Amino acid sequence: MKCPRCQFENPTDSLFCNRCGTQLFSPQEQVSFTQTATLETPLKELSVGSTFAERYQVIEELGKGGMGRVYKAYDTEIKEQVALKILNPEIAADKSVIDRFRNELKLARKISHRNVCRMYDVCRVENTTYITMECVSGEDLKSLLRRIGQVTAKRAIAIAEQVCARA
């Protein structure tokens, strides 16, 4: 399925573009967008040292992508580091996307596995939707692959074993 935003060709079962994160719709789906205040609000960029939602002290930006920006933050309520994902306004404006995140959160809370990042909450403050989750240190798979290039079969099997390992 071709992304309407970046024209990237995605698998037919993809809900979001694998390159830019734009929500994808099948040709059968009738989609009508209406402009909302959320879309008129620019994506909130947080600076190191700032406090978001009167609770999260930003330590550093971890990354950004089609879904939004991710920060390492200190949660002053639970006194613990978390990952804070600020969703892009066009993603957050779609109620069905937020409903899917909430359903994903319900399911994710039932999983306890060392190789699965825990999600804590989906929230909204001042027209900004955000997700809090476990802050896991280390390099993500995408960065690893960009850094080392093509992996050997032996390395791919080792990575797959980590992903599939029992709790």
Q: Name the residue among 104, 143, 131, 136 with its Cα closest to residue 117.
A: 136
43: CB partners within 8 A, 6+ apart = 68, 69, 86, 88, 89
The reported pLDDT for the residue numbered 12 is 81
In the prediction, which pLDDT does 13 show? 75
Helix (H) or strand (E) holding 146: helix 141-148
The Cα–Cα gap between 57 and 51 comes to 4
pLDDT of residue 27: 55
pLDDT of residue 156: 92
Query: Residue written as tokens 């024209």?
Result: 7
User: What's the pTM value of the predicted model, to 2 decimals?
Assistant: 0.68
Q: Is 87 helix (H, G, I), strand (E, B) or coil?
A: strand
pLDDT of the residue at 57: 98
Query: Which tokens is 133 given?
Result: 């989750």
88, 90, 91, 93 alpha-carbon torsion, rounded to 10°: 120
Per-residue pLDDT of the chain (167 residues; tens, 9 = 90+): 888 877 888 888 777 777 777 777 765 554 444 444 434 444 468 999 999 999 999 999 998 888 899 999 999 999 999 999 999 998 888 899 899 889 988 998 888 888 788 999 999 998 899 999 999 988 888 888 899 999 999 999 998 898 888 86
For the domain spanning 37-136, the CATH number is 3.30.200.20
H/E run at residue 101 = helix 95-108
DSSP E strands, 8-154? 51-52, 56-64, 68-75, 80-87, 119-125, 128-134
| Residue ranges of domains in the chain | 1-32, 37-136, 139-167
Relative to beta strand 80-87, strand 128-134 is antiparallel
